[in-house]
Amino acid sequence: MAGIPDVALVPTMGALHEGHLALVDRAKSLAGNVVVSIFVNPLQFGANEDLDRYPRDLKGDLEKLPSDVIVFAPNATELYPLGPVETRVTAGHAGSTFEGASRPGHFDGMLTVVAKLFNIVNPKVAIFGQKDAQQVFLVKRMVSDLNFALEIEVVPTVREPDGLAKSSRNRFLNEEQRKDALALSRALNAAMLAVSILEQNKSAADGEIIRSAALEVLHAVPGIQLDYFEIVDPLKFEPIPVDYHGPATAIVAAKVGTTRLLDNAPLSIP
Ligand code: PAF
């Protein structure tokens, strides 16, 4: 019987930046062969979303990638030869909250293409960025629920020197919006600071105090249209209960102008 191929997969939608290159670096440390997929997946975009304006730059992407990676950049007809898919992966309850609430169907489309990529490439490991925390949660859940025979490796978010999480969508921000966008990472820092203060002064409502510290930062910037800031239990991707102690993830999403941005940070609730 053939063994599991020594392949690591980095699924992307292209418009590659240092965040993606960190995924590729990790992939290289985990397998002898690295496949980077580049495909802007129409299934994960809603009717009023930015599918048409999502940045595409295959030539630039190929220049950025190390020459020894294998690039899989199918077009929509190659990936969906029979036309619109009839069979989909559904993300379930955890796919209908936060990003899923604002982008109905997004996670079903994401999981469906990720499942296809896993089946096509057959990697022993796939690498995802922590910036898309809910995506990571759902991919891991799919791998477990559907018995995909691979590991999921998660790489920390790569940030600009001023703290902004790297994202393909950052290129849509003008100078003013780019400044406003910093409120997301500043809010996460405020949450982390609140945690460190609470470590000395424990309270029954730690979660609420941490949320308020972050919300104060976000509400102070008029250019931020906040969608959500929440502290979730990373094992369930649900808001933590009031008496929660232990590892948590602070997640935030906001629009700056017409650009939707996400960020998150790990916390340890004392
Ligand atoms: O994170 C992304 O870029 C996409 O959601 C992914 C995982 C490549 C699926 O299209």
Q: Read off the pLDDT of residues 70-86 as tens digits, 9 standing for 90 and up.
A: 999 999 999 999 999 99
Mean pLDDT for all residues in the chain: 95
Which structural domains are found in the chain, ordered by start? 7-155 (3.40.50.620), 168-269 (3.30.1300.10)
pLDDT, one tens digit per residue, over 134-148 is 999 999 999 999 999
**Residue whose CA is at the smallest distance from ligand 1 atom 9:** 110
172-227 pLDDT per residue, tens:
999 999 999 999 999 999 999 999 888 877 766 678 889 999 999 999 999 999 99
The dihedral over CA atoms of 122, 153, 162, 160, expressed in degrees to the nearest 10, equals: -20
User: For residue 148, what are its two tokens?
Assistant: 């995909």
Q: For ligand 1, say whether the CB of 41 is within 6 Å of any of its atoms.
A: yes
Question: Percent of the chain beyond pLDDT 70?
Answer: 97
- At 134, is the secondary structure helix, strand, or coil? helix
CA of 135 to the centre of ligand 1 (A): 8
DSSP 31-58: -SEEEEEE---GGGS-TTSSTTTS---H
Q: Name the least confident of 44-53, 73-82, 227-236.
A: 44-53
User: Residue 69 to residues 35, 48, 117: CA-CA distances in angstroms?
Assistant: 6, 34, 16
9 with 118: CB under 8 angstroms? yes
Is 93 labeled as catalytic in the residue annotation? no
User: Could you tell me the two tokens for 247?
Assistant: 């590892």
pLDDT surpasses 50 at 1: no
* Pocket-testing residue among 110, 117, 264, ligand 1, by greatest number of atoms within 8 A of Cβ: 110
Among 17, 20, 93, 106, which one carries the catalytic annotation? 20
Please work out whether the CB of residue 132 comes within 6 Å of at least one atom of ligand 1.
yes
The H or E element spanning position 194 is helix 175-200
Length of the chain equals 270
How many other CB atoms sit within 10 Å of the CB of residue 81? 8
Q: Is the CB of 251 under 6 A from ligand 1?
A: no
pLDDT in tens, 251-266: 999 999 999 999 999 9
Identify which has the larger pLDDT, 266 or 48: 266
CA of 217 to the centre of ligand 1 (A): 29
Looking at this protein, which amino acid is placed at residue 131?
K
Q: Is 112 in the pocket of ligand 1 (CB under 6 A)?
A: no
- Do 52 and 46 meet the contact criterion of CB atoms below 8 Å apart? no
In this structure, are residues 123 and 150 in contact, taking their beta carbons and an 8 Å threshold? yes
Q: Which of the listed residues 37, 135, 155 should we mutate to test ligand 1's pocket, taking the one with most ligand atoms within 8 A of CB?
A: 135
**Alpha carbon separation from 74 to 41, 83, 147, 218 (Å, rounded):** 10, 14, 25, 39
Residue type, 255: K
